[in-house]
Structure 1
Amino acid sequence: MARYIVIVEKSDDEYFAYVPALPGCTSSGQTPGQALDHIIEAISLTQSYLTEQHLPIPDQIETIAEVEVH
């Protein structure tokens, strides 16, 4: 089992989710929960594709920083 950081952002009319460690792995939904449900499926599909193509599955980014900008 792999664990990834998922970013969920609100746009004008929906929520957009993506995985920084898996470029191109994105999804959306009408609610944050729906976006998360969809990104879990997208992660699984991305991992399957990479495996089928004999490509490495990127590891999770280890460093996360939270900054405050004034």
Structure 2
Amino acid sequence: MKYSVVIEKTDNGYSAYAPDLPGCIAAGDSQVEVEELIREAIIMHLESLREHGDPVPEPQTSVALVEV
């Protein structure tokens, strides 16, 4: 599955979250690091949902870059 991830620059580095997986977040010093960490966070989040018998949300969020 492919989940959309939002990555934001912060004062201290980068943060990321997966809109289709509430509570699934990560923070890192660089964009590369936060991409690795959010991938790991998504994997762990999905494993936890499965272990607890909770439904795994299907990816629904799409991303578009809009030129202005």
Structure 1 segment 42-57 matched on structure 2, within 5 A: 42-57=41-56
Deviating beyond 4 angstroms after TM superposition, the runs of 4 or more aligned structure 1 residues are: 62-69
Pairwise CA RMSD: 1.7
Q: Which runs of 5+ in 1 are unaligned?
A: none
**RCO higher in structure (CA 8 A, sep ≥6):** 2
How many angstroms does 1:14 deviate by?
Answer: 1.1
How many angstroms does 1:24 deviate by?
Answer: 0.3
Under a length normalisation based on structure 1, what TM-score does the superposition of the two structures give?
0.86
Under a length normalisation based on structure 2, what TM-score does the superposition of the two structures give?
0.88
Whether 1:37 aligns to 2:36 is yes
Length, aligned pairs only: 68
Q: Which runs of 5+ in 2 are unaligned?
A: none
Give the 3-state SS of the residue equivalent to 1:21 in structure 2.
coil
